[in-house]
Structure 1
Amino acid sequence: MLKSIHHAAIICSDYEKSKHFYTAILGLEVIAENYREPRDSYKLDLKLPNGGQIELFSFPNPPARPSFPEALGLRHLAFCVDSVESMSDYLVSKDVKVEPIRIDEYTQKKFTFFNDPDGLPLELYEQKSTL
């Protein structure tokens, strides 16, 4: 039986730029960082607050992939936040372009989209903590 998502894997074009984005801007904690010499590749394991992970990979000359929200495949990666407005304001202060905040027509929850350094669509979805 499936219990949860363990991790999402992301291949980036500029490892240092993406590492900075996910750690310094989004605030994810580094679990492990490994250089895999035979592949000329880095693998960075990042901890999400709920225990899930993001694996950030670098490979020499990865092929381009459409990254538009309506392209075939994974549509986007969404992060739960207590306040879409405050996280959106924070990202804008870090020179990250954020779309206008919208309301989900079915749940009435606030959400918005932004992109990582490679244009991967990321979403902020408001889900206030119940603690």
Structure 2
Amino acid sequence: MNNNVHGIDHVGLTVPNLEEATNFLIKALNATVLYDTYKKSEPIRDSDFIRKRLGIRHDMAERAIRMIGLPNGAQIELFEFSGPCQKQPITPADFGWQHVAFYVDDIEEAVTQVENAGGKRNSDPIDLGGIESGIGNKFCYCLTPWGSTIELISYPTPQPYLKESKRRKWPV
């Protein structure tokens, strides 16, 4: 078996407003703008080729694309579309990719940072259990200002799965 797959490069996220989403991610997750693939100042992309390539409806068009970098790890590619038929973000109970988890050192501080940036926690941080348990190991689901679900997770104590698994979540 070859080593062709290396890991997640980026996660695509459609947002209602590119600038507001960028500001939230900078404030909430210490992200930085890497580059704009496609700027709002450029003509709207509404060709059949774009629609087919992305698998979007015939009445939707691409407005802008921006790559956001996180301090350590994958990037987030923000998309803004225009058209009459956009749906609300899915919840964890819906089919499809339903959340992205961000590893943090201090979960309480991270939740406060998300809230100060305009996000909202679903509950207070909760202890991780079972195969992920350990002192200080916690997670917290939050909502972005536009309603997408993110998870903040921290596990400062080695998790029990490490005794049974040949692979770690993060390289040492």
Q: Is TM (by shorter chain) over 0.5?
A: yes
The 5-angstrom pairing of residues 1-131 of structure 1 reads 1-33=4-36, 34-35=38-39, 36-39=42-45, 40-61=62-83, 63-98=86-121, 99-106=123-130, 107-108=132-133, 109-128=137-156
How far is the alpha carbon of 1:71 from its aligned partner?
Answer: 0.8
Per-residue Cα deviation, 1:59-95 (whole angstroms, up to 9, x for no partner): 1035205511111111210000011111112333344
SS in 2 for 1:37: coil
How far is the alpha carbon of 1:22 from its aligned partner?
Answer: 1.3
SS in 2 for 1:59: strand
**Distance in 2 separating the partners of 1:95 and 1:13:** 15
SS in 2 for 1:31: strand
Which of structure 1's runs of 4+ aligned residues deviate more than 6 A? Answer: none
1:125 alignment partner AA: I
- Percent identity at matched positions? 25
Flag structure 2 segments of 5+ consecutive residues without an equivalent.
Answer: 46-61, 157-169
* Greater Rg over alpha carbons, structure: 2
CA RMSD of the aligned region, Å?
A: 2.3
**Is this contact kept in 1: 2:120–2:144, CA < 8 A?**
no
**Is this contact kept in 1: 2:89–2:148, CA < 8 A?**
no
**Is this contact kept in 1: 2:128–2:139, CA < 8 A?**
yes
How far is the alpha carbon of 1:96 from its aligned partner?
Answer: 2.6
Q: Normalized against structure 1, the TM-score is what? A: 0.86
Flag structure 1 segments of 5+ consecutive residues without an equivalent.
Answer: none
Larger fraction in strand: 1
